[in-house]
Amino acid sequence: MKNKQLTAVILILIFISATFMYTFTGFEFAGGQKPISTNLKKGLDIKGGVYIVYDVESTAKKEELRMLLNQTKDVLRKRIDGLGLTEPSIFIEGEKRIRIELPGASDANEALKLIGKTAQLQFAEVKNGVFVKNGDKFDKSKMTTLFYGDGVKDARASKDNLNSYSVAFKLNTDATKIFADATAKAVKYEGQIAILLDDEVISAPVVKSIINGGSGDISGSFTKKEVIDLAFLIRSGSLPVKLIEQRSSIKGPVLGVNAFKTSVFAAIIGIILVMLYMIIFYRLPGFIASLSLVLYISLTVMLMVFLNATLTLPGVLGIVLSIGMAVDANVIIYERIKEEIAGGKKSSLECAVSHGFSKALWTIIDSNVTTLIAAVVLFNFGEGSIKGFAVTLMIGILMSMFTAVFITRTLLTALSSTKMFSKVSLYTRNVGGKNEI
């Protein structure tokens, strides 16, 4: 074996071992980190939790609608993060639908109320001679909008000496100037500045002095929880569209966990049987294929963690399916190599291996690309767990092509060039004293 080939084999074996340990066993024995597979994000059907589907109410079309949906998605994620709910998944489904999944959340009814609330904050100047009170709706004939919630830089719940709760806010530079001008005008006739939430007046203080510092309070008959929620909604921003709850559900984790364990156990048994089959029927190439399979599984899980992909039960099936495709790629390669050996056209086993790979390459690429296209279509048009299946299938296909075309080829080419591994019997089954090709 040439020095370069020996180095390649050693490096690949080290890479396979290190990747497997990094993914599944970790390096805790050496004071290192836990396996990265513990960070794999699990979906609702495995972990349990809450999901809710909203219909979007908007007259916008095409690009404008897509922009509004993306803005809504960003605000929703900000709200969910602010509530301390972990691992949220937010999807845009179809043209006017948004789906939120909160794995691990046991009771998120209150959270869902806050998440889907439009929460459009509005500061308005009440016209001279008009008086408004809490609960009144926005009326253009009575009020003039000054600015919206995006003019608020920060908002926090506060409590005064009389134990009254309010929301203390700070305005940005532009809103500060507008607010100062409005209060300077209103103070002349003791007018009001109305603060509205979703077009309903929640506070309408009479202006006694000019406010030019860019800060103030939203006061009223608020409870502690109400001011905390209001401050949170102001900080997270208002939704650019109205959301209408279409359906929601709370899923328990017991059934999903049991199904996940059963699926993983079945997958492990299947992988072991596949490895045994490959070794028995293809001998050395089968052993190399088994090593590649170990690397394939490790890389697939690792990539899912890095991409923050969610593993669902259909996703497990996607991994198993792509394992079958990875094995199929190796079978195609080995059958082509056997044909080269049986034909006796090549001067050496090394040449047979090289030509066998060359002939199998385009067949492997064609089959994987067509499946990849199908997975992309499922991802773009599917919903929920279908997307999970598509994601794992796409990752699995890419990893299977990498392991079959690069890892398997490098190992087999290097080993077949040595005297120790150049016997034809290591590549075929022996029947009746003859090598079966």
**Two tokens, residue 225:** 């929880």
pLDDT of residue 252: 67
pLDDT of residue 435: 47
pLDDT of residue 319: 86
402 phi/psi in degrees, rounded to 5: -65, -50
Q: Are both 204 and 307 inside the same structural domain?
A: no
**Whole-structure pTM value:** 0.66
pLDDT of residue 208: 85
- 407 — alpha (psi -120 to 50), left (phi > 0) or beta? alpha
Q: Are both 419 and 285 inside the same structural domain?
A: yes
**Two tokens, residue 386:** 């279908």
We report the CATH number of the domain holding residue 69 as: 3.30.70.3400
pLDDT of residue 164: 85
Q: Please identify, among 238, 271, 297, the residue that sits at the C-terminal boundary of a domain.
A: 238
Identify the bridge partners of residue 361 per DSSP, sorted by sequence position: none
* Ranges of residues in the chain whose predicted pLDDT is under 50: 430-437
Q: Are both 232 and 129 inside the same structural domain?
A: yes
Q: Are both 232 and 349 inside the same structural domain?
A: no
pLDDT of residue 434: 46
Q: Please identify, among 238, 263, 281, the residue that sits at the C-terminal boundary of a domain.
A: 238
Q: Are both 409 and 428 inside the same structural domain?
A: yes
pLDDT of residue 203: 85
In which domain, by residue range, is 196 found?
Answer: 121-238
- 56 — alpha (psi -120 to 50), left (phi > 0) or beta? beta
Give the span between the Cα atoms of 288 and 386, in whole angstroms.
33
Q: Are both 35 and 125 inside the same structural domain?
A: no
Give the span between the Cα atoms of 183 and 123, in whole angstroms.
12
pLDDT of residue 433: 43
Q: Are both 348 and 389 inside the same structural domain?
A: yes
Which residues, other chains included, contact 110 with Cβ-Cβ below 8 Å and sequence gap of 6+?
Answer: none
pLDDT of residue 137: 93
How is the beta sheet containing 200-203 ordered, strand by strand? 143-148, 121-126, 193-197, 200-203
Task: Please report which helix (H) or strand (E) contains residue 156, including its range.
Answer: strand 152-159
Q: Are both 221 and 282 inside the same structural domain?
A: no
Q: Are both 211 and 287 inside the same structural domain?
A: no
Alpha-carbon distance values, 286 to 115, 158, 229 (Å): 53, 69, 61
CA atoms in the 13 A half-sphere facing the CB of 404: 29
We report the CATH number of the domain holding residue 323 as: 1.20.1640.10
- Is there a contact between 152 and 215 (Cβ–Cβ < 8 Å)? no
Alpha-carbon distance values, 138 to 75, 80, 191, 238, 386 (Å): 24, 29, 16, 17, 44
We report the CATH number of the domain holding residue 169 as: 3.30.1360.200
DSSP structure class, residue 104: T
Alpha-carbon distance values, 419 to 33, 284, 415, 422 (Å): 41, 14, 9, 5
120 phi/psi in degrees, rounded to 5: -90, 110
Model confidence over 193-213: pLDDT tens digits?
A: 998 888 888 888 888 888 888
Q: Please identify, among 201, 218, 251, the residue that sits at the C-terminal boundary of a domain.
A: 251
* Residue 423 neighbours by CB distance under 10 Å: 14
Q: Are both 152 and 64 inside the same structural domain?
A: no
Look at the chain and report how many structural domains it folds into.
Answer: 3
Query: Cβ-count burial of 272 within 10 angstroms (0-12 exposed, 13-18 middle, 19+ buried)?
Result: exposed
Q: Are both 275 and 329 inside the same structural domain?
A: yes
